[in-house]
Amino acid sequence: MPVTSVDKDLEKLTMEIVADFPVSVRRLWDAYADPRQLENSGARPPGPRPSTATT
C-alpha cells in the first residue's frame, strides 16, 4: 500500500492513514467490500513469508 502519511492523536486514540492507489475509487471500494478479490489479485498480506490472504 502506497502510504503517504500517518497522523496519530494519542489523546483521542485515533490514527489517520493516507494512501494513494493507482486504481479507480470503485475498484478500491470493491476490494474492501469483497475481500475474496485479494485472493486472486496477487496482493500479499503483511507479515512473514509465506503467507496467504485467506477469507
pLDDT at 1: 57
Q: Are 44 and 37 in contact (CB under 8 A)?
A: no
Residue reference for cell 490472504: 53
pLDDT at 30: 86
Q: Are 22 and 4 in contact (CB under 8 A)?
A: no
pLDDT at 49: 60
For residue range 1-52, list pLDDT tens digits in order.
Answer: 588 899 999 999 999 989 888 889 998 888 878 877 766 665 555 556 665 6
Q: Are 20 and 34 in contact (CB under 8 A)?
A: no
Residue reference for cell 492513514: 17
> Who wins on pLDDT, 55 or 4?
4
pLDDT at 12: 95
